[in-house]
Structures are given as structure tokens and as C-alpha cells.
Amino acid sequence: MHLMLKKSIHNRETVAGYLFIAPVYLAFILFMLYPLVKAIIMSFTMVGTDYVGWVGFQNYVTVFKDYAWWPSVKNTIIYSAVVVPGAIFIPFILAALIRVMKPAAQTFSKSCLYLPQVSSGLVMSLVWFWIYDPFNGLLNYLIGKVGIQPQIWLGDVKTALLSLILMAVLAGHGSNTILYIAAMGGIPKTLYEVARLEGANWWQTVRNITWPLLRPTVLYVLIMSIIGSFQVFTPAYVMTRGGPGLATSTVVYKIFNDLFTYFSFGTATAEALILALVIITISLIQFRFFATDVEY
Amino acid sequence: MKKWLSCLFVVILFVGLLAGCGKKEKQSLGSKKDVITFWIAENFEGEGKLWESIVEKYNQDNPDVEVELSIKPWDKTPMNVALQSKRPPDVAFDWFSPPTDAYEDLKVDLLEYITPEEKDDFGPQVIARMLSPKGKMNKWPWYLYRAEWMLANGDLLKQVGANPELIQEQGWNWDEFLSTCQKLAKVGVYGYGDAQSPNTVNILLNGLVGPSISDKDPYEFNWIGAETAGILQRYRNLIFKEKVMPKEVLGIDIFGLHEKFSRKEFGIIRSYTAWVPNLEKEGNISKVYILPYQDQGGLEFIPYLGVGGWAVFKQNPSPGEEHLKNVVKFVKYISQPIDGEFIPMHWGGLPPGGNLRQKYIQGIKNVDPNLKFTLKVMETGKIARALPTAATKINEIVNTYISEAMSGQITAQRAVEKWTAEVSRLLK
């Protein structure tokens, strides 16, 4: 009897649990899974705005032959190759510096670093648009002080992409820094004491204790940074519209363009799926090679 | 008990969130009015208010109909979503409408509703401009226009001895334009500025060489060869050889350019006629003149005119023929001057119908030099034909290489070679 009562309570709790998570699952199915499946189908059945039945890989072939696709891929890879290491190492250095500060200074530094995260990418892009203004921008004013000629940061094919990369590298390290600070706080102090007693210097301590023990956090930052950088869109859209020419056209900007300028649903969804596959592959490789001894 | 109540609360909350996803009833609740959904975007500050009063008056004069006005931002996303879900508005400013050869099944063929008198008044070129490749009239003509011109600070031009009204009357060539820019530079301003140089080069190529592609399939690309390269070279030389345009303009947008024009840092810019009143006001300039593009390289610049209109869409499910008649009646009403006000006039647009245009012009009291110039252009210009979606892609390819040429990355000749090769691949 007691057992049956226990089972009945357990069943009720189980049902209640499922009901509570049902809305989230429903939202996931409606707003993530269904659009994903629909997009996959679209990429094999739509040409332009028309549903024309199964077209196989026609849209994918069109994507690979599109003159704007490969420059967009190249720009995205260059952007990620610079921004991702910056997103890993700069917050690490900042976190190491903040950790040794007094508590009040730590709080102040963390707040200053995190505040820009609160503002949207659009606002950041508009502010940097002013910073890069060739006539009155802050950057040309500063480099003018050291005798360098004003540059057309966003209007020159040579500097446009670098300008967007610079913006990403200098801004937006707040959340990663906070993550590193929290992770560093979890490293036992005894390890540092032992290292000090053994005569290890700062660099040896960082290399042999801090860095290896931060591996789970580094892996997380690496994966999230790659996902974020491969999906870069806002700066390209707000500041340069992918130009001049195709100098700052990224994969996501191209997807947007194909969808809203050319109404080419088949091509746009094909591009989106190619991007998704690339990101999934890279993430899986990262997990395979870097997460062997990481436990969460 | 608490758990079940919490569960119920969560379910109600979720259902409430999804409640907005239902279909909107076409008929107003509790009334028999035929609802017409109408989308516009503001071309100038205050246009929305004008439309609100027009719609209010129309609703009062037509008690069986209720027009629902939506003032949308300049963003095609809402229309894209509406078309994808097959629930577009009844009437939309044609800027929102998709490419000519897309969503054919959602567009109303207005040829069924045009009278022979209207057809004669518009003329075959205007009608042709409104047709899809399949011969359906998808848009109703509203105004004839050419909105992008060179705008000049009249005070500065007169200061350097240039006569903008004479230029408007007689036109000018490239050398005369350069000479004016150089004179402006001598008084300490930049002669010329353009924050959208690929667009401008497109306009020059269109006006001097002709449309980018032929009108017959298989399409032939026309922007090739030495003449084309020469036009781009001359424009590129403004920065690198003649030095009348600062390279810095490549890094600013049109609003930054307007600000500098208002501060009298530029004598001539390439912009839009709708901005003339703002530029005069912000810059305290007595007159901003609209100036023609220049003849060059032995070629005469022919202004191609656009025809703006209203896109009319079918509804699903169909509310019936009566609804379509009401929609078309509303479209015809808003396509004419109303109580002396013709909204497109704010950006230099005039009625596309010949008789209607003459009648409207006769009613204009103050014919200033810019209006005289606009009227002349309307009579002498050519109406551009509707181009297929491939032309948009061609423009993107051409603009890519124009940008590279303008920033000094490649020569004009190389730019033309590159875009010719890419476009040939595209058209194969």
C-alpha cells in the first residue's frame, strides 16, 4: 500500500514536471525546430520566391558559383581568425590583472568592463561609425596627433574589414572576463602556495597551474566566440552595408541580402544551412580534440 | 494543489503569448465596413500626417469602407514576412513590393480595372513600366520622377561666378563642371562630394550609355568597353587626378554628407531632391539648386525617369470582387492631387498622366527654378522600363567593382573588365 502511494506520488510529480517543461519544449519546437526543418526543405524546393518542387542541390550549386559567396566566406574566416584569439586571451589577461586588485577596485573594473555588454550591437556600431568618421572621427584625431595621415577606415577596401575587426577586438570582453575571474576563483590557493614554495615564477605559475585548470572555461569561450564570429552581421550591416564592394560582406550579411534584396529563399536557406554545418563541424572538432579531459 | 495552480498559470501564460498569432478578421468587429489595409513609408518628415488626414477624409466620405493606414519604416522585412505568410496589405507604396517577377500569384492585374481614358492619359511607356514580365499590370502609376541629382549651394556658386539657373536651362559638360568645382576649391570649400558613388556611376552609365541590359531574353549586357571605362575613369579622377572630391567621402554616409553641405564645406553634392528644403533650412542657404548631370565623352546625358506607384495585392481568402473594386477606387483616389496637394511633389514627382500633369502644373502658383528644371526633365526625359531581377544582381556586381575603383584599388579599365566577365557568367 505504502509502495503504491509512493508510486502514485512519483507519477504525479513526473507528470507535473513534464507539464512545467512543456511550454519551453513547445516554444523550442515552434520557434527553433519547425523553422529549421522548414528551412532545410526550402533549400531543396525553392527557387527565388517560388516553390517549384524538388530541385535537389541546385540552390547549393548556385551558392558555390555566386561571385559574392567566396569573398563573404573569406571575410568571415579572416574576421574569426583575429577576433577569436582576442576573445580568448585578452579577457584572460584582464582577469589575471583584476584578480590581484583590491576588492573595491575589482568591483569597479568589472563594472566598467561589463557595461558595454549591456548596450546592443547596433548602438556600439553607431558609436564606432563616428569613431571612424574620416573627417571628424576620434581615431583620425588621435593618429593625427602622432603625425599619421587620416585614413578612410570604412570607405577603403584595404581598411574596412580591419576596422570592423578592431572594433570587435577592443570591445565586448566583459562577459568572458567575468567568466575567467569566476573560474580563477575556483582554483585552490594551495596550488599557488606550493608553486611559490617550489620557486616557480609568475609565468610558470600561469602556464602550469592557471591555464590548464581554466581549460573548461577556455573551451566554452572558444566555442562561443567561434559561433559568434561566424555569425557576425550587425557591424557589416550598420556600418558598411557589406562594402566598399564586397570588402566587409560576411556570410550572414550575404544571407540577409539574398533574402531581403533578391527574395531568393532557396539560396538564402542553402547558405544558412552551409553555415550551420560548418559551425557544428568546428564545434565537434573542438570538443573531440580539446575536451578529452574536461568535465563539466 | 499549489503545483497544479502553478501549472495552470504557466499554460494560460503560454496560450496568451500565442494568442496574437491568430488570423486577423478582415471585417471590423460589429460593423459591415470593408477594411482596406494601406502601407506607406515616409519620404519626408510630415508625410505621415498628410496621409492620416487624407485617409480620415476618405473614410468619412466613404462610410462603407475603412482604410487602415500603417506608416512603416524603410525596411522590407515586414513586407517580406507578409508575402511569405500570404497576407500582404491591400495597397502598399511600391518601394515595398518584391521584385517585378516575384509573387505573381499574389498581385492583382490592374489591367482589368483601367479605363481606356486612363490608359491613353498614362501612355504606353508608363503602362509598360508597371507591367510584370508576364504582362500583368501589378502597380498603379502615381508619379513620374527623377529624384537623384546634383544639388548645389546657390550662394557659393554665385560667389565663384557660376550661374546655376543657366546650368539648369542649358545643361553643362564635364569640363564646365570640373571648372566650377575647382573655382569652389579656391574659396576654401570642397568642390564636389558624393557618399554613394556607385549609385551615381550607375546613373551616369544609364544616362550616357543606356540601361545595363537589353530588353530581350537572352539579355545582352551593355555596360562594356572603352566608353563605359571612360565614364568611370572621369568620376574616379575627381578624387585622384582633379582632386575636387576628397577621398574621405568614401567613408561617410549620405547624412554625414548633408551635414557637411549644410556647414558649407561642400559646394555641390549628389543627393536627393526631397532633401532640398532641409538642406536650405539647416545650412541657412538661400537656395539649393538641382543641377543636371553632365554630358561627357561626346555623349549626351539623357535623364531616365522612374514611375512610382502603388502595389495592389490579392487577399487570401479572397474577400470578393466588391472588395477589389473598393481597393482600386481608393488607389485611383490617392494617385491624384487631393485638394491641390500632390504628395510626390515634395520630392519632385509629378502626375504620370499627361492631361492630369498639365492640369496640375497650371494650378501651381510659384514656379521656382527647381520646379522649372523638373518640368523640363519630365518632358524631355525617357521613362525607364522595368528590369528583371537579374538587373539587380548585375548592379551589385557593377557596384562592387566601382567601389574598388573609387577607393584606388583597381583602375577603371580593370573594373569594367572584371564586371564584364562576372556579368557574362551570370547571364549564361
Task: Calculate the average pLDDT of chain A.
Answer: 89
Report the pLDDT value the prediction gives residue B23, as an integer from 0 to 100.
Answer: 47
Question: What is the arithmetic mean of pLDDT over B247-253?
Answer: 92
Which of A16, A23, A261 is nearest residue B392 as measured by Cβ atoms?
Answer: A261
DSSP letter for B35, please: E
pLDDT tens, position by position, A167-191: 999 887 889 999 999 999 888 889 8
User: CB under 8 Å to B30, separation ≥6 — which residues?
Assistant: none
Query: Cβ contacts (< 8 Å) between B13 and chain A: which residues?
Result: 23
Asked if B296 and B231 touch (Cβ cutoff 8 Å), the reply is yes
Asked if B276 and B350 touch (Cβ cutoff 8 Å), the reply is no
A181 CB neighbour count, 10 Å cutoff? 19
Question: What is the arithmetic mean of pLDDT over B156-170?
Answer: 96
pLDDT more than 90, % of chain A: 59
| Distance between CA atoms of residues A7 and B74, nearest Å | 61
Nearest chain B CA: its distance from A175 CA (Å): 31
Record: contact A260-B11, CB cut-off 8 A: no
Query: Cβ contacts (< 8 Å) between B406 and chain A: which residues?
Result: 244
Residues B279 and B187 in one domain: yes
Number of domains in chain B: 2
Interface check A51 vs B, CB under 8 A: no
Confidence check: pLDDT of A23 > 80 = yes
A271 CB neighbour count, 10 Å cutoff? 28
Most A-contacting residue of B248, B266, B411, B425 (CB-CB within 10 A), to test interface? B248
CATH of the domain at B108: 3.40.190.10
Query: Cβ contacts (< 8 Å) between A50 and chain B: which residues?
Result: 102
Beta bridge partners of B288: B153
pLDDT tens, position by position, B314-354: 988 888 899 999 999 999 999 999 988 899 998 889 999 99
DSSP letter for B342, please: -
pLDDT more than 70, % of chain B: 95
Q: Which of B379, B399, B416 lies at the terminal end of a domain, its last residue?
A: B379
Burial of B39 (0-12, 13-18, 19+ CB in 10 A): buried
Report the pLDDT value the prediction gives residue B188, as an integer from 0 to 100.
Answer: 93
Task: Calculate the average pLDDT of chain B.
Answer: 90
Report the pLDDT value the prediction gives residue B347, as an integer from 0 to 100.
Answer: 86
| Distance between CA atoms of residues B278 and B44, nearest Å | 9
pLDDT tens, position by position, B12-54: 776 766 655 554 444 444 457 999 999 999 988 889 999 999 9
- Give the pairing type, strands B148-153 and B190-193: unpaired
Confidence check: pLDDT of A46 > 60 = yes
Sign (positive or negative) of CA dihedral A69, A73, A74, A75: positive
CA–chain centroid gap for A198, Å, is 40
Host H or E run for residue A87: helix A69-99
Confidence check: pLDDT of A29 > 80 = yes
In a domain, B174, yes or no: yes
pLDDT tens, position by position, B349-387: 999 999 999 999 998 888 899 999 999 998 889 998 877
Question: Helices (DSSP H) in B45-115: which residue ranges?
Answer: 47-61, 77-84
B194 CB neighbour count, 10 Å cutoff? 24
| Distance between CA atoms of residues A202 and A200, nearest Å | 7
Record: contact A49-B393, CB cut-off 8 A: no
* Angle between helices A174-185 and A103-118 in degrees, nearest 10: 140
C-alpha angle A202/A207/A211, rounded to 5°? Answer: 115
Query: Cβ contacts (< 8 Å) between A156 and chain B: which residues?
Result: 250-251, 407-408
User: What residue in B sits closest to A245 (Cα-Cα)?
Assistant: B400
Query: Cβ contacts (< 8 Å) between B426 and chain A: which residues?
Result: 67
Report the pLDDT value the prediction gives residue B77, as an integer from 0 to 100.
Answer: 82
B201 CB neighbour count, 10 Å cutoff? 27
3-state secondary structure of A54: coil
pLDDT tens, position by position, A217-247: 999 999 999 999 999 999 999 999 998 889 9
Residues B286 and B367 in one domain: no
Burial of B392 (0-12, 13-18, 19+ CB in 10 A): middle
Most B-contacting residue of A122, A139, A154, A263 (CB-CB within 10 A), to test interface? A263
Residues B409 and B279 in one domain: yes
- pLDDT band with cut points at 50, 70 and 90 for residue A205: confident
Q: Which long-range contacts (CB under 8 A, 24 or more apart) does A131-135 make?
A: A132/A163, A132/A239, A132/B251, A133/B251, A133/B252, A133/B256, A134/B247, A134/B248, A134/B249, A134/B250, A134/B251, A134/B252, A135/B248, A135/B252, A135/B256, A135/B260
Supply B214's cell numbers: 537589353
Going by C-alpha positions, the residue among B169, B296, B193 that lies closest to residue B251 is B193
ipTM of the complex: 0.81
Interface check A16 vs B, CB under 8 A: yes
Asked if A122 and A108 touch (Cβ cutoff 8 Å), the reply is no
Asked if B242 and B235 touch (Cβ cutoff 8 Å), the reply is no
Residues B110 and B204 in one domain: no
Confidence check: pLDDT of A99 > 90 = no
- pLDDT band with cut points at 50, 70 and 90 for residue B152: very high
pLDDT tens, position by position, A108-142: 998 888 888 888 888 989 999 999 999 989 999 99
Distance (Å) of CA B173 to CA B204, B227, B282: 13, 16, 30
Report the pLDDT value the prediction gives residue B38, as an integer from 0 to 100.
Answer: 97
Exposure b/e, A195-216, CB count within 10 A at least 16 = b: beeeebeeeebbeebbeeebeb
Sign (positive or negative) of CA dihedral B16, B22, B24, B25: negative
Which of A50, A153, A247 is nearest residue B251 as measured by Cβ atoms?
Answer: A153
Record: contact B403-A134, CB cut-off 8 A: no
Residues B159 and B286 in one domain: yes
Residues B252 and B369 in one domain: no
Beta bridge partners of B291: B150
Interface check A1 vs B, CB under 8 A: no
Interface check A70 vs B, CB under 8 A: no
Record: contact B99-A19, CB cut-off 8 A: no
Report the pLDDT value the prediction gives residue B22, as an integer from 0 to 100.
Answer: 52
Record: contact B250-A19, CB cut-off 8 A: no
Residues B171 and B221 in one domain: yes
User: CB under 8 Å to B381, separation ≥6 — which residues?
Assistant: B146, B302, B303, B304, B305
Record: contact B409-A19, CB cut-off 8 A: no
Interface check A66 vs B, CB under 8 A: no
- pLDDT band with cut points at 50, 70 and 90 for residue B426: confident
Nearest chain B CA: its distance from A172 CA (Å): 24
Report the pLDDT value the prediction gives residue A1, as an integer from 0 to 100.
Answer: 66
Exposure b/e, A53-64, CB count within 10 A at least 16 = b: eebeebbbebbe
Strand blocks (E) in chain A: 46-47, 50-51
Count of A–B CB contacts within 8 Å? 107
Burial of A264 (0-12, 13-18, 19+ CB in 10 A): buried
User: CB under 8 Å to B20, separation ≥6 — which residues?
Assistant: none
Q: Which long-range contacts (CB under 8 A, 24 or more apart) does A139-146 make?
A: none
CATH 3.40.50.300 is right for the domain spanning A65-290:
no
Nearest chain A CA: its distance from B102 CA (Å): 6
Record: contact B102-A49, CB cut-off 8 A: yes
Residues B244 and B172 in one domain: yes
Record: contact A20-B409, CB cut-off 8 A: no
> How is A256-274 classified by DSSP, letter by letter?
HHHHHTS--HHHHHHHHHH
Record: contact A263-B409, CB cut-off 8 A: no
Residues B282 and B170 in one domain: yes
> How is B201-270 classified by DSSP, letter by letter?
HHHHHHHHT--SB-SSSSP-B---HHHHHHHHHHHHHHHHTS--S-GGGGGS-HHHHHHHHHTTSEEEEE
Residues B257 and B299 in one domain: yes
Report the pLDDT value the prediction gives residue B27, as an integer from 0 to 100.
Answer: 47
User: CB under 8 Å to A218, separation ≥6 — which residues?
Assistant: A88, A92, A211
| Distance between CA atoms of residues B223 and B423, nearest Å | 10
User: What residue in B sits closest to A13 (Cα-Cα)?
Assistant: B3
Asked if A46 and A269 touch (Cβ cutoff 8 Å), the reply is yes
Which of B249, B251, B260 is nearest residue A132 as measured by Cβ atoms?
Answer: B251
In a domain, B412, yes or no: yes
Going by C-alpha positions, the residue among B197, B173, B193 that lies closest to residue B185 is B193
Interface of B with A (CB under 8 A): 3-4, 6-7, 10-11, 13-14, 76-77, 80, 83-84, 98-99, 101-103, 198, 247-252, 256, 260, 389, 392-393, 396-397, 399-404, 406-409, 422, 425-426
Query: Cβ contacts (< 8 Å) between B198 and chain A: which residues?
Result: 243
Record: contact A262-B389, CB cut-off 8 A: yes
Nearest chain A CA: its distance from B266 CA (Å): 13
Report the pLDDT value the prediction gives residue B230, as an integer from 0 to 100.
Answer: 97
User: What residue in A sits closest to B196 (Cα-Cα)?
Assistant: A244
In a domain, B169, yes or no: yes
3-state secondary structure of B341: strand
Q: What is the CA radius of gyration of chain A?
A: 25
Record: contact A156-B250, CB cut-off 8 A: yes
Which of B6, B399, B409 is nearest residue A157 as measured by Cβ atoms?
Answer: B409
Exposure b/e, B254-285, CB count within 10 A at least 16 = b: bebbbbbbbebbbbbbbbbbbbbeebbeebeb
Supply B148's cell numbers: 537623384
Q: Domain of residue B141: give its range.
A: 33-146+306-379
Which of B251, B392, B400 is nearest residue A262 as measured by Cβ atoms?
Answer: B392
Nearest chain B CA: its distance from A54 CA (Å): 19
Residues B316 and B403 in one domain: no
- Give the pairing type, strands B266-272 and B148-153: antiparallel
Higher pLDDT, A215 or A295: A215
Report the pLDDT value the prediction gives residue A245, as an integer from 0 to 100.
Answer: 86
In a domain, B24, yes or no: no
Which of A48, A134, A246 is nearest residue B248 as measured by Cβ atoms?
Answer: A134
Nearest chain B CA: its distance from A71 CA (Å): 11
pLDDT tens, position by position, B116-149: 999 999 999 999 989 887 888 989 999 999 989 9
Report the pLDDT value the prediction gives residue A16, as an integer from 0 to 100.
Answer: 86
Backbone φ and ψ for B229, nearest 5 degrees, come out as -60, -35
